[in-house]
Structure 1
Amino acid sequence: MVHPPSSSPGVSNRLAREPSPYLRQHANNPVDWYPWGDEALARARAENKPILLSVGYSACHWCHVMAHESFESPAIAQRMNEWFINIKVDREERPDLDQIYQGVVQLLGQGGGWPLTVFLTPDLRPFYGGTYFPPEEKYGRPGLPRLLEALHDAWVNKQDQVLAQAAAFHDGLGELATYGLDAAPAALTGAELVTMGEKMLRSMDPVNGGFGGAPKFPNPMDVSFLLRAWRRGGPPAIKDAVMRTLERMALGGIYDQLGGGFHRYSVDARWRVPHFEKMLYDNAQLLHLYSEAEQVEPRPLWRKVVEETVEYVQREMTDARGGFYAAQDADSEGEEGKFFVWRPEELATLPPEQAELLRRHFRITPEGNFEDSGATVLEAVVPVPELAQERGVPVEALERELAAARRALFALREKRVKPSRDDKLLSGWNGLMIRGLALASRAFGRPEWALLAATAADFVLSRMWDGTRLVRSYEEGGSRIDAFLEDYGDLAAGLTALYQATFDAKYLEAAVALVKRAVELFWDGEKQAYLSAPKGQKDLVVATYSLFDNAFPSGASTLTEAQVALAALTGDKAWLELPERYISRMRQQLGDNPLGYGYLALAADTFLDGAAGVTFAGTREQVAPLLSAANRVFAPTFAFTWKESGTAVPPLLQELFEAREPVDGQGAAYVCRGFSCERPLTAPDALIQRLQAAPRD
């Protein structure tokens, strides 16, 4: 259960004054929590006390578990307060701190994750860490009270050993932060990208799709890259694996079969039972991926998933000002997944025929499929054609009947207590959703989705960006925390995508300003790599570099994608300088571990295609057939611009648009690669054929 907000009586610690919903969830703990900042760090130094650093986020189920078991315990809180300076961090506000201290768990040979629990010296060097610690020893983990006692004893009586351990961790964290940057730069080739795709294919589940076994994550950027490798000439098995993955996810419990949108991951290999939190960045990337699938091989299932996910984002995750919220919790009423699961008797208020159809389609049984609870996570078990055959009705009629039944069940669910929502607006995650909506609007011919993205972009650009400074988070009506590289990169990538859906040059101009500022703040010329946090950040024990693509892309990857897009959209070769240097710097890492650099591989694929672009020239009516045809094609390396007849040309596009005009009164498409353009095309079929040609190396 989520704690009351700071306005509740009995608030006992400093977190009540914090705008972060996650920090406020701990406002009533008996723990003497501090937010990360000068006050806490100064006290640790003054009293020579170690720091207990706890990192999590509001939608994290096991963060809630540890809070209830330990941080709400007066006995455990007493030990924490007496022996440690206790600091709570929202990892969504401070990804740089999370990135550094997750390294402690990696160095200890553990998997990492949240809640993250790390013990630091007063000068911020870690000496021990882990993730979830129970109140007593279980699950093979030490109990938190005993751990606190042992670490307190070590600090008091064996401090020299603790400091030696801290020094070793500090060295290890420094090595982790720059891992892979010592490789010799070399040019990447298209053949290597195909080899990367084939290597990734060997890691895929041939039955259920996705990578590996349980737990199974969607990994949208890696799946998206597989489509790129297939497009470059990879074997048909790559495309088959992608389609299998997308189909299994769409029919499984990881997808919310009633309300749309995807949960965080599946605890099993079959996509059946999810970890129920819903994250904005997951749904943003999956919107983009399913829109690409529609371009590759149109299916009603892809359209259904995208339409329902956009509806979910509008209904549950959109602020009145137009921005997008960060996350929705896994828990409601103190139980994980309670909002989403069903028992047969809960369908009794529906008309009997509807209830039976739903029980059969979703296989809602007394035994259930969710742990041992007797509840069922909805998955589309019995296909619609089989149901239609059983009932002796046409498939179309059955689909209408099932849709009505699903709406009725959704209406029942709306009466339940909903999971809590983290209502902070993160500039980078908004950029990812803007990017997803922009492509979806093009692939499915839904301009209203581009308007939804544009409204979010207008909010972020007006409230969170002043032309020189981007902030990461907008909470309780105010902006706070300077943005990190991922915010600049994600937002710039989203704006270049939004320009291609709206052709409003203000988004292109904003992307240019953001990228230029990001290079000033984050590019390390000596390392030829990007820092995660701005240069000169004072409270980091080691410098952090933006390298790996994990659950969400690294800022270096999205910024590289934006730079390559700007080269194509403006015709300015200078935008390719840093992408060329960075991609060559990361060539060896891409080849050795493609699953760790999926988004960078997307940017590299686009870079190798020579800043490909299409300029449409003519009136709206003249270019409409060409543009509609191009938007239906899977041509992910091409950037689209439009020179509209009779309108002023924006200064940023004057050089690119020079001499690009309609042909004989018809709309024209100018296809360019490597800053060299072919003869204009006027027939949609000819343009489709040209865009479907294999990319160049």
Structure 2
Amino acid sequence: MTTSLSSDNNRPVVQGELNRLSKEKSPYLLQHANNPVDWYPWGEEAFEKARNENKLIFLSVGYSTCHWCHVMAHESFENEAIAKIMNEHFVNVKVDRETQPDVDRMYMLFVQYSSGSGGWPMSVFLTPELYPVFGGTYFPPDDRYGRTGFSTLLKRIAELWKEQPDNLRKTGTDAIEQLRKYTESKGESFTKSTELNMKIAQKLYHHFDTRFDNEQGGFDGKSEPKFPTPVQLHFLLRYYYYILADLDRADERFAIMSINEIRNRGAALGIDFKDCTNEAQFLNKLKEVVTSRKQVAENSLKMVKFTLKKIAMGGIHDHVGNGFHRYSTDKYWHIPHFEKMLYDQAQLLMSFVDVYVITKDQYFAEVARDIVTYVERDLRDPDGGFYSAEDADSYSHEGAEHKLEGAFCVWEMSEIKEILGDKNSEIFCRHYGVKSDGNVDPSKDIQGELKHKNVLIERYTLEETAEHFNITLDQLKEILSESRKELLKYRFEKRPKPHRDDKILAAWNGLMITGLVRAYEALRDKKFLDLAEGAAKFLKEKMYIPEKNILLRSFREGAGDVEGFVDDYSYLIEGLLHLYQSSFNESYLSWAIELQDKQNQLFYDEQSGGYYNVKEGTRDILLRLKDDHDGAEPSANSVSVSNLILLSNIVNNPDYNAKAEQTLKYFAGALNMMPHSMSAMVASMMLHIKGVKQIMVIGREQNQIVQQFVETIRDQFIPSKTFLLAKPENELLLEKNELVKAIVQSEFADTSKKGEEDNVPSVHICENFTCGMPISNIEDLLDKLKIM
């Protein structure tokens, strides 16, 4: 039996023996519980040891479904020679970035700022006082690939600490001070009153337009890897909507407008008429600009549709097992890193649903249903919450010694032929690009794990494949559907499933709730609403402390002891607002208000605006950051601005609206300089500039006309709306919103007749708490909705 020295009471860590991470709940930490490395979880025990023994801390941050985290673990953390160096010279700390995003974000900012890039695994060396002195991501065990080997790096850092501890301490303190100045400089725009206007949105649109890959979709040109970026699609769809909303009925009015009306109309659209001298020139200029802007709107939608179809046809889409992998390593959306993340499923679900609502193209509805199928089957806890992810790596067969990336998902042609038979396999293999020697580019298979394997990708449209085999479209769809079912059955019965990260995160469940509610409203499948309500119930019963109004970050074998961060609050509030406007259950509105008030109390900067990612006084965090980057997920500030605006319009709370505006002003400088990194924030800014349309249906749910009104409204893509069902029983809404109360009192002759049909159902469309005339038939409602 081999051992490596541990400084924990001089006890050696024995290979195969559990270390102290075995007492943790995080799946990521538990994956390292039998390393020979003397790991500590993040906390005072590790920090005290570092101070007492005057050792640097080696901080390793990752997550349980991260492929390269597994690679570094296998190469270095399971290597006894490397573990011996780590244990002798460092206090080694493991952090799950998903349960402690505060630690991850602080040191990731350092790594990105000092090296120009970041990612996981993240490897950072800290002083005993937690100041970072050097950081990077993945390191090979020995010098290779032009990269310094991890063992070499450990020795060099240990030597530097022994010889120049003061210099390293100064390096660490200077680094944090520079980061503090950098983060504070982002808020200087607040005092400079940088203007917030639609020019920022125009700039962002042009950024995407110039970088759009017109062959494969996406907005990184023709570079690789390719990430699905729902925050970008979210912006473009809203930009599409606002342009068309600005041009409402313009074509019909041009011919009867006076010069002053044309001038006023043009000014509202931002048109410069300085070169126009007569009515004809004014009119032609206006028509020219309107035509151009309609083309921009259509192009915004076109780029989103094209990108989503390429993603759905690509190998990043699990055509057999449903759902989407994290990203593709190539520019064709073909060869993925195979992990599946809940936040990707949630946000892509929203994107596919939005495009379906706009286009009514069933293709996008089918992909949306595909996502829900995966999430319900593979990521749902029996009690209603949703798990975080599934791993990229798995065993290729029972009894295999090592896990391989993608082993659960890839296929050899011989397997497919054996399972499907000759005729169906011929059709299936052609449609999905299957080759006898595999279809994976060797340059995308660095470790040789995908040799002779096929990642399914739709090489042809359904129409092209049907024509090639001289069969009908319906026949092809049936063959492909049955083939996928057979392969899925084989996969589940014959292959070991990948590790599932079964912790439940409040933030990601909030995103999933939003996606499911929007899918329910668009596709009319009550199961989707039930799934969303089940997740909300789970969070409230198991991850919420009602007496303190405190949300908890995670749940696994019981709730974790880490309190929620700002994204936990903001994402869940967004989900609850959607749930309320979909189910009209006031308990969701009540909880959303409680959470918003607690979020404001814990995280809002009353002096400058914006939300910090952690509350004041959080231990062991050297920097409180205000996240503004919309990346794989929208920033909490972006989501919070939208939440505040919508909630303010529902409950008529001017303070919410003021906080939204103050937050936008805080980030105004960054919005002007780099809107491409803040897509969701720009979308929230547009909501602030353009305002909210308040749609109220007056009546009770059981009324057939009310249901027709509700479904008609949900059929339209109106991201700038709040949607309320107003009736005498709405105690909270009537208490919070005087306008709703006045309309209900006027429409219901006798509010004591609860449950009786004592009014004629109608719809009121309002803006800034001023309403138009009541609408009492579907045709008039449709006319009004089309020009909102």
| TM-score for both structures, normalised by structure 1 | 0.95
- Counting only pairs closer than 5 Å after superposition, residues 604-623 of structure 1 correspond to structure 2 as 604-620=685-701, 621-623=704-706
Residue 69 of structure 2 aligns with an amino acid whose one-letter code is: C
Q: Residue 451 of structure 1 corresponds to which residue in structure 2?
A: 530
The separation in 2 between residues aligned to 1:641 and 1:9, in whole angstroms, is 61
Q: Residue 612 of structure 2 corresponds to which residue in structure 1?
A: 531
- Answering whether residue 586 of structure 2 is matched by residue 505 of structure 1, we say yes
The question of whether the paired residues in 2 share the 8 Å contact of 1:196 and 1:591 is answered with no
- Answering whether residue 509 of structure 2 is matched by residue 426 of structure 1, we say no
Q: Residue 74 of structure 1 corresponds to which residue in structure 2?
A: 80
Residue 427 of structure 2 aligns with an amino acid whose one-letter code is: L
Residue deviations 1:624-678 (CA, integer Å, cap 9, x gap): 1111111111101111111247776655555342243569964322111222211
Q: Residue 285 of structure 2 corresponds to which residue in structure 1?
A: none
Residue 52 of structure 2 aligns with an amino acid whose one-letter code is: A
The question of whether the paired residues in 1 share the 8 Å contact of 2:502 and 2:556 is answered with yes
Q: 2:764 aligns with which of 650, 670, 674?
A: 670
- Answering whether residue 440 of structure 2 is matched by residue 370 of structure 1, we say yes
Q: Residue 56 of structure 2 corresponds to which residue in structure 1?
A: 50
Q: Residue 210 of structure 1 corresponds to which residue in structure 2?
A: 218
- Counting only pairs closer than 5 Å after superposition, residues 577-616 of structure 1 correspond to structure 2 as 577-616=658-697
Question: What secondary structure is seen at the aligned counterpart in 1 of 2:553?
Answer: strand
Rg larger in structure: 2
Structure 2: state its 5+ residue gaps.
Answer: 1-13, 244-292, 396-402, 443-450, 749-757
**CA 1:145/1:139 → structure 2, altered by over 3 Å: closer, same or farther?**
same
Q: 2:357 aligns with which of 291, 295, 309?
A: 295
The farther-off stretch of 276-285 and 651-660 is: 651-660
Q: Residue 17 of structure 2 corresponds to which residue in structure 1?
A: 11
Q: 2:204 aligns with which of 184, 189, 196?
A: 196
Residue 216 of structure 1 aligns with an amino acid whose one-letter code is: K
The separation in 1 between residues aligned to 2:594 and 2:731, in whole angstroms, is 21
The separation in 2 between residues aligned to 1:328 and 1:679, in whole angstroms, is 52
The separation in 2 between residues aligned to 1:386 and 1:471, in whole angstroms, is 51
**CA 1:691/1:574 → structure 2, altered by over 3 Å: closer, same or farther?**
farther
Question: What secondary structure is seen at the aligned counterpart in 1 of 2:545?
Answer: coil
The separation in 2 between residues aligned to 1:652 and 1:496, in whole angstroms, is 17
**CA 1:23/1:650 → structure 2, altered by over 3 Å: closer, same or farther?**
same
- Answering whether residue 563 of structure 2 is matched by residue 464 of structure 1, we say no
Question: What secondary structure is seen at the aligned counterpart in 2 of 1:232?
Answer: helix
- Answering whether residue 603 of structure 2 is matched by residue 522 of structure 1, we say yes
Q: 1:258 aligns with which of 313, 316, 320?
A: 320
Residue 351 of structure 1 aligns with an amino acid whose one-letter code is: G
CA RMSD between the two structures = 1.9
The separation in 1 between residues aligned to 2:628 and 2:503, in whole angstroms, is 26
- Counting only pairs closer than 5 Å after superposition, residues 313-392 of structure 1 correspond to structure 2 as 313-333=375-395, 334-347=403-416, 348-372=418-442, 373-392=451-470
The farther-off stretch of 619-628 and 78-87 is: 619-628
Q: Residue 485 of structure 1 corresponds to which residue in structure 2?
A: 566
The farther-off stretch of 242-251 and 385-394 is: 385-394
Residue 568 (structure 1) shift: 2.3
**CA 1:654/1:582 → structure 2, altered by over 3 Å: closer, same or farther?**
closer
Residue 202 (structure 1) shift: 1.9
The separation in 2 between residues aligned to 1:655 and 1:458, in whole angstroms, is 30
The separation in 2 between residues aligned to 1:642 and 1:27, in whole angstroms, is 53
**CA 1:647/1:535 → structure 2, altered by over 3 Å: closer, same or farther?**
closer
The separation in 1 between residues aligned to 2:141 and 2:729, in whole angstroms, is 71
The separation in 1 between residues aligned to 2:184 and 2:491, in whole angstroms, is 48
Percent sequence identity over matched residues? Answer: 36
The separation in 2 between residues aligned to 1:580 and 1:223, in whole angstroms, is 24
- Answering whether residue 273 of structure 2 is matched by residue 229 of structure 1, we say no
Residue 479 (structure 1) shift: 3.2
Structure 1: state its 5+ residue gaps.
Answer: 1-7
Q: Residue 715 of structure 2 corresponds to which residue in structure 1?
A: 632
Residue 638 of structure 1 aligns with an amino acid whose one-letter code is: K
The separation in 2 between residues aligned to 1:636 and 1:193, in whole angstroms, is 16
Residue 104 (structure 1) shift: 2.1
Residue deviations 1:322-350 (CA, integer Å, cap 9, x gap): 00001111111111111111110011122
Q: Residue 741 of structure 2 corresponds to which residue in structure 1?
A: 658
Q: Residue 488 of structure 2 corresponds to which residue in structure 1?
A: 410
The separation in 1 between residues aligned to 2:198 and 2:786, in whole angstroms, is 16
The question of whether the paired residues in 2 share the 8 Å contact of 1:619 and 1:645 is answered with no
Question: What secondary structure is seen at the aligned counterpart in 1 of 2:407?
Answer: coil
Question: What secondary structure is seen at the aligned counterpart in 2 of 1:660?
Answer: helix
The farther-off stretch of 368-377 and 504-513 is: 368-377
The separation in 2 between residues aligned to 1:172 and 1:84, in whole angstroms, is 26
Residue 659 of structure 2 aligns with an amino acid whose one-letter code is: L
| TM-score for both structures, normalised by structure 2 | 0.84
Residue deviations 1:459-508 (CA, integer Å, cap 9, x gap): 10111112321110111123320110010111111110111221111011
Question: What secondary structure is seen at the aligned counterpart in 2 of 1:258?
Answer: coil
The separation in 2 between residues aligned to 1:650 and 1:614, in whole angstroms, is 14
The separation in 2 between residues aligned to 1:639 and 1:647, in whole angstroms, is 16
Q: Report how many residues are paired.
A: 687
The question of whether the paired residues in 2 share the 8 Å contact of 1:567 and 1:573 is answered with yes
Residue deviations 1:548-584 (CA, integer Å, cap 9, x gap): 2221122222222211121222233332110011112
The separation in 2 between residues aligned to 1:592 and 1:542, in whole angstroms, is 24
Residue 441 (structure 1) shift: 0.6
